[in-house]
Amino acid sequence: MLDLNNKTSIITGGGSGIGKAISILFAKQGSDVYILDVDEAGARATAEEINSGNGRATFIKCNVASAEETSAAINNIVAERSTIDIIVNNAGIAHVGTIETTNESDFERLFSVNVKGMFHVAKAAIPFMKEKGGSILNMASIASTVGIPDRFAYSMTKGAVVGMTLSIAKDYLSYNIRCNCISPARVHTPFVDGFLSKNYPGREEEMFKKLSATQPIGRMGRPDEIAYLALYLCSDEASFITGCDYPIDGGFSKLNN
């Protein structure tokens, strides 16, 4: 069950948080993992952790916002492995602000990474997946479907991710390329800790509890919990699933009053 032996996986943003957890789990299940990230230190550490545990991982420094860098990275992977089986478009950045407090440069920066980054990876990889099929998994967010205060630009980009997922799923049905997305609520990652220390110095513990309580289940998610859902959706056991957005949110989108 959930065996990824002999499968080649490309995971963007694998240097920390959810991407790191997915990279480690996929390697544990037998996949050859390629980590694309701009965080050289974090991504190298993830790859080294995998390789030291008898897994197989390769780090390629790549800014997915650049079409040229992304295409070169994908071509290098195909030159080594001749095929691509799984793509996890996880790389993304966040922003706090309403439409009034979001400036144009912030808007464009989020769109470049969160939307164009996924576009660049999928566009470069799909031609190499068409012969035998595969799975594409995009990281969306409950912010795409639930109104969250002060997350205008971030919510906009994640809504685009859901639309992109449906379009790819529809267009490549005949090639046996499945495309789904995951929509997490708050997940406890290094980003959350950095956000709290930057915006609430001295009140980190108080605000962590407050943010955790917004999930009806009473806590934030863990990166490994997201990784297990990603594993299922990218495995052959999920071969009947495409064009779906899966909330994994501790009840946030359905149980909040």
Given 34, 154, 200, 228, which residue is catalytic?
Answer: 154
Active site residue 154: yes
Question: Are the CB atoms for 137 and 87 separated by under 8 Å?
Answer: yes
Question: Are the CB atoms for 87 and 122 separated by under 8 Å?
Answer: yes
Order of strands, edge to edge, in the sheet holding 86-89? 56-61, 32-37, 8-12, 86-89, 134-139, 177-184, 245-248
State how far Cα 51 lies from the chain centre: 22
What DSSP line would sit under 45-106, residue for residue?
HHHHHHHHTT-EEEEEE--TT-HHHHHHHHHHHHHHHS---EEEE-------B-TTT--HHH
Catalytic residue positions, numbered: 154
